[in-house]
Amino acid sequence: MMLTVADAYALVLGTVRDTGTEIIPFEKATGRILREPVLADRPFPPFDRVMMDGIAIRYDSFARGQRVFVVEDMQAAGAPQLQLSNTANCIEVMTGAVLPELTDTIIQYEHLQAAEHEGFKRFTVKHPEKKGQHIHRMGSDVKQDAVLLNSGVLLGPAEAGVLATVGKTSVLVSKKPKVVVIATGNELVPVTAQPEPHQLRMSNVYSLSASLEQMGIEATVLHLEDHAESMLHQLKPLIADTDVWISSGAVSAGKFDYLPEVLRQLGMEQLFHKVQQRPGKPFLFGAFTDGPVVFALPGNPVSGFMCFYRYVRPWLQEAMHLNPVPPLYAVLSEKVHFDPNLEYYIPVKIESQPHGKLVAIPQPYQGSGDLASLILADAFMELPADQTDFKKGDSFPIWKFR
């Protein structure tokens, strides 16, 4: 029985296994998934911080009508805190410096007139001022021991800055799964070869490997010829030492599509074969009890590519404990008609419009073998099986690959 996309997706996610964790230097953690909470080791900011170059005063003196302040000292950023000895005076301050003790207000240089009098530098205030202005108060951003980063966060440039700020030199992250990407077919030759008229260079596996690379996952590439015994011989040693197999081809109804039977002989439990979708209908999925999960994707390039982003990537994200990513939606730029009772994934170009909506522009598409159509697109739009006519302006989910 052919499954709906929803049922197939549920079965795929039902097999998710934790990839495990490892501790790595924080400098190497960009692109990895955090597996521990990160706390503030002190308040943010850790002191009352000066926000403008100027002078620090005691506001009570200004409130009493004083407008001329004699400079006692200079408080530089990175220097220990100074103390105002006479509240009728001021201390010059630089942006980022700690607020001098016994001061409570900053007046920027633009509101001051500088002068020398009897060997002392002094400033005259030329502008109305407010008590407490231009001070970034200690702990106003984050309190000490507050959670800054939660487990499941994808670590990027902003998170790298947070890790450095709290002195988190080593960080617990998800391990990357061991993945094998498998090409099948006697018609395939290496990329470096000059193919005969009846041959093709291997390409699907490199698209899939590049998709994994986008996630920071390196894969081993393997080529299987259309020979059952050879397939068994090459795949059997990989069962104990890999987490995920992603294959391309040999899962349809052809005379040389041996892969489904070979996988069963190796001990894989087949969870489904064929899904109510186009492209990607022949998709086969299964799992070994003590071995990898297997995504046996159709050989047509668009089919396998779509299945990766619809099924494989979500499985990998969940296995590495990435926090759930909310679905993206876009509106159709033009009407689409599709008759078969299948969920339809159409290549689209996504544009952001001034009114704030994402618009999906269908791209010329000649079927699941049309690899070139993907160059013009950056997502698949998911059109439900219970409709045949999809109107301009209707909103549907999209699965981005750029």
- Write out pLDDT tens, residues 65-87: 999 999 999 999 999 999 999 99
Token output for 383: 């059109």
Average pLDDT of every residue of the chain: 94
DSSP string, 62-81: HHTT--EEEEEEEE-TTSPP
Contacts of 42 by beta carbon, 8 Å cutoff, 6+ apart: 144
pLDDT at 189 over 80: no
pLDDT in tens, 204-255: 899 999 999 999 999 999 999 888 899 999 999 999 999 999 999 878 766 5
DSSP 324: P
Residues 115 and 94: their CA atoms lie apart, in Å, by 19
The predicted pLDDT at position 179 comes to 98
pLDDT in tens, 283-305: 999 999 999 999 999 988 899 99
For the chain, report the end-to-end CA distance as a whole number of angstroms.
34
Residues 290 and 286: their CA atoms lie apart, in Å, by 12
pLDDT in tens, 325-349: 888 999 999 999 999 999 999 999 9
Residues 159 and 27: their CA atoms lie apart, in Å, by 11
Q: Which pTM value belongs to this model?
A: 0.89
The predicted pLDDT at position 337 comes to 95
Please tell me the number of Cα atoms within 13 Å of 243 on its side-chain side.
19
Supply the Cα-derived Rg of the chain in whole angstroms.
31
Strand 269-273 and strand 188-189: the pairing is unpaired
Token output for 291: 């071995």
Report the interhelical angle of 259-266 vs 228-235 (nearest 10°): 40
The predicted pLDDT at position 21 comes to 98
pLDDT in tens, 120-140: 999 999 999 999 999 999 999
Report phi then psi at 261, rounded to 5: -70, -40
Residue type present at position 42: R
Please tell me the number of Cα atoms within 13 Å of 148 on its side-chain side.
24
Count of CB atoms within 10 A of residue 314's CB?
Answer: 19
